[in-house]
Structure 1
Amino acid sequence: MKVLVINSGSSSIKYVLFEMQDSKVLTKGIVERIGEASAEVTHSVFLKGEEVKEKYEREVANHVEGLEFVVHLLTDSKKGIIHDKGEIVAVGHRVVHGGEHYNHAVVVNDEVKARIEELIPLAPLHNPANLQGIEVAEKIFPEAIQVAVFDTAFHQTMPAASYRYPLPNELYEKEKIRAYGMHGTSHEYVSKQALHLIDKPVDDSAIITIHLGNGCSMAAIKGGKCVDTSMGLSPLAGLMMGTRTGDIDPSIPFYLGSKLNMSFAEIDQMLNKESGLKGIAGSNDMRDVLDKRSAGDKEAMLAIDMYVQRIKKYIGAYIAEMGGLDAIVFTAGIGENSDEVRRLVCEDMAFLGIDLDEKKNRERKAVNRSIHAVNSKVQVWVVPTNEELEIASQSRALLGQVTQKSVH
């Protein structure tokens, strides 16, 4: 059973083809610069455990041409993985915002597409491209079921006390202004992995997942369900990130407008694109900031102190909220690869039962691994995220439901 996962951006298409019998990646790639004079296509095939990567430059006028070229690569008689596109039984789509409508993956129909379009104001940079990817895939793969997997879905189990803002009721009731959270597919995947690893009944578990990439978020997961998360109405809230502020005094935008005469667009640009690590240390790449910190750069030192302090603050808040903690899980680019960030986050946390094994923490392995000391009351894990596999798995599950309904 083959499932294709698509993450469609405004000028790109990322894709991964899975053989779901053993959850094996057959091929993956990305089509970039769609609509420009020369698009770039990177296509990888996995043969006998090794990745064979090829790059192409060609004109790709739109997403239809982009996905058609992907099909050509998948079915190429010499290097292709499949004989015919009909072998793909499901196409799973990453959709950023599902609002309050969806707390799980759904088979795409006209109503679902209308909902995704309706939510464009809450995700103006993502939902339009996600919807376009779905509509293109429907034309290219007419026999496959199309599945939408929402980044916001996993967080829909939050209680109202977590997702409501203390604003007038009508702003929630009419405008649906509330916290939705992001990175839900990643948090869901790594939390499932962690719940298998910590050897504790799911219903009695309390874990914190920490997704640290250029965008950063955390989730409090009790009994296998999300009860709180750091991002809010948009991905701007919560932790300090590569270029985003995270939580700040909400009066700051008003001050910037009245005192500095900045427009809404300029303030939005600054808070989302020019702040965070970049705003303090001059770079949004954690590796660069850590190197500058090691060389004695004061701004880099401050940036790391701020970055770590905010993660610690959320850990403390979530422990209080859940009434305890069994495990912390680090994931995504920084969370998986920066032993120094993990060390700093867990430093001086022994009073909360968090005790790191320095040697384990320094190991570099792309596998699930524990990094806590033997006597640590709270387990600490590194779990590489795999959002594409989670999307494929949810798509396969829906395919089974559709098949059963058709039989009955």
Structure 2
Amino acid sequence: MTATATRVLVLNSGSSSVKYQLIDMNDGTRLAVGLVERIGEQTSRLAHTPLAAGGDKRETEGAIADHDAALKAVAAELAADGLGLDSPQLAAIGHRVVHGGLKFTEPTVIDDAVLKEIERLVPVAPLHNPANLTGIRTAQAMRPDLPQVAVFDTAFHATMPEYAARYAIDVETADAHRIRRYGFHGTSHAYVSRKTAALLGKDPSEVNVIVLHLGNGASASAVAGGRCVDTSMGLTPLEGLVMGTRSGDIDPAVTFHLKRVAGMSTDEIDVLLNKKSGLIGLCGDNDMREIRRRIDEGDERAELAFDIYIHRLKKYIGAYSAVLGRVDAVAFTAGVGENAAPVREAAVAGLEEMGMAVDASLNAIRSDEPRLISPEYARVAVAVVPTDEELEIAQQTYALVNA
């Protein structure tokens, strides 16, 4: 790495997509952002925006066979803007990896041993880790001389005490099959908890925060003095809050019942709980804007779905208030958390005795900046803090390769 190498390429490789951002770590400026989707289909699409040059978004469609072809297409787009992967200004490539198990609790420079361990974790992250591995190997082939860093979704939650991370099942069985609470969205929870402390003018070590990451996937965390002490997602991202298509918390015996009484296979139940449940299962929509529109038109099914969503959210706010003992702030983030004022209002309504309240006028303001939406008298600050997982990955990657 040269002394002038200050850029990090962040790659988030999904099963049929690659999201990417090129960030200059001097000031956090985005130089380019983009998305390749529907990889492996005839209708693949690449959308690329060269922010450094102030250029317009460029979109191309056509078959992109695999991740190798996708990353080569990304490299070509970057090169066209003078931002190619061969640039001496590129310091490293940072990869989002969903599951790091117990072994990876920090950002890690990738070598053969790291790849083998990520592969070993595929059984507990079958939808995510294989795609992450594909992206890493493709990037390594393109720039074998460049540091490649894995930043793990689970890492921030590794500070949970054993009594929070363990399930109450036979210890030998749990250990043999790596069954425990790992948690996800860790880069978001880390970033938002730190930004919330800054918003309050305090060091993260002085602040207890409940972070509510509410997107199509949703999770809550209890962060005490900058360290995660509990989180809602578990062995997989299925547990916890009601999500766009995931059920969240459910009696485990429901799965046995569906198998025995409905004759459903394990795979069918998996699809039901992960892809056909949550908001979409309750009312047929997983877009909160559409659900609110339907509620305004008197749609009772949409209203019940919203009420179930909020009820679960309140339960976790209450539970994590008890876990933390003292709560300094509740922070809403991600697509729904940042943009859906009715969700924030409803989640905090009735919690005045716990020191929480929302100011209606502040809550109605739309902004890309971190902001408080609670009245001055509220004992607990309620905040909206836009997340930036890509910047968090880039910062962790850059810090590691410059250590």
- Same topology, TM > 0.5: yes
Find the aligned partners of 1:83 and 1:5 in 2 and give their Cα distance.
12
Per-residue deviation, 1:288: 1.1
| Residue of 180, 183, 188 corresponding to 1:178 | 180
SS in 2 for 1:90: strand
Aligned to 1:16: 21
Q: Is the 8 A contact 2:99 2:125 kept in 1?
A: yes
Per-residue Cα deviation, 1:335-391 (whole angstroms, up to 9, x for no partner) = 000001000011111110012111010001111111110111100111111100000
Find the aligned partners of 1:84 and 1:203 in 2 and give their Cα distance.
40
Find the aligned partners of 1:51 and 1:162 in 2 and give their Cα distance.
48
Find the aligned partners of 2:397 and 2:85 in 1 and give their Cα distance.
22
Aligned residues: 398
Aligned to 1:60: 64
| Residue of 349, 352, 362 corresponding to 1:350 | 352
Q: Does 1:378 align with 2:380?
A: yes
SS in 1 for 2:46: strand
What value does the CA root-mean-square deviation take over the aligned residues? Answer: 1.3
Per-residue deviation, 1:282: 1.3
Q: Does 1:212 align with 2:214?
A: yes
**After the TM superposition, which residues 40-79 of structure 1 pair with which residues of structure 2 at under 5 Å, given as runs?**
40-47=45-52, 50=54, 52-76=56-80, 79=81
**After the TM superposition, which residues 321-360 of structure 1 pair with which residues of structure 2 at under 5 Å, given as runs?**
321-360=323-362
Aligned to 1:91: 93
**After the TM superposition, which residues 236-255 of structure 1 pair with which residues of structure 2 at under 5 Å, given as runs?**
236-255=238-257
Counterpart of 1:157 in structure 2: which amino acid? T
Structure 1: gaps (5+ residues) = 402-408
Counterpart of 1:22 in structure 2: which amino acid? D
Higher mean Cα deviation, 363-372 or 37-46?
37-46
Q: Does 1:34 align with 2:36?
A: no
Find the aligned partners of 2:190 and 2:208 in 1 and give their Cα distance.
14
Q: Is the 8 A contact 2:119 2:130 kept in 1?
A: yes
Structure 2: gaps (5+ residues) = 1-5
Per-residue deviation, 1:393: 0.3
Q: Which runs of 4+ in 1 moved over 4 A?
A: none
| Residue of 171, 189, 202 corresponding to 2:191 | 189
Aligned to 1:106: 108
Per-residue deviation, 1:81: 3.4
Find the aligned partners of 1:44 and 1:88 in 2 and give their Cα distance.
18
Q: Is the 8 A contact 2:44 2:61 kept in 1?
A: yes
Counterpart of 1:55 in structure 2: which amino acid? E
Report the TM-score when normalising by structure 2: 0.96
Aligned to 1:300: 302
Identity across aligned pairs (percent)?
Answer: 48
**After the TM superposition, which residues 202-281 of structure 1 pair with which residues of structure 2 at under 5 Å, given as runs?**
202-281=204-283
Aligned to 1:404: none
Per-residue deviation, 1:59: 3.1
Find the aligned partners of 2:275 and 2:61 in 1 and give their Cα distance.
29
| Residue of 394, 397, 402 corresponding to 1:395 | 397
Counterpart of 2:307 in structure 1: which amino acid? D
SS in 2 for 1:46: coil
Find the aligned partners of 1:247 and 1:114 in 2 and give their Cα distance.
32
Per-residue deviation, 1:144: 1.5
Find the aligned partners of 1:56 and 1:75 in 2 and give their Cα distance.
16
Per-residue Cα deviation, 1:64-108 (whole angstroms, up to 9, x for no partner) = 1211121111111xx333594443120000000000001110000
Per-residue deviation, 1:200: 3.5
SS in 1 for 2:290: helix
Find the aligned partners of 1:360 and 1:52 in 2 and give their Cα distance.
33
Aligned to 1:149: 151
Counterpart of 1:97 in structure 2: which amino acid? H
Counterpart of 1:377 in structure 2: which amino acid? R
Higher mean Cα deviation, 339-348 or 166-175?
166-175
Higher mean Cα deviation, 158-167 or 53-62?
53-62
Per-residue Cα deviation, 1:18-50 (whole angstroms, up to 9, x for no partner) = 0110100000101122222242110001147x5
Report the TM-score when normalising by structure 1: 0.95
Q: 1:47 to 1:200 in 2, by over 3 A?
A: closer
SS in 1 for 2:50: strand
| Residue of 146, 164, 167 corresponding to 2:166 | 164
Aligned to 1:405: none
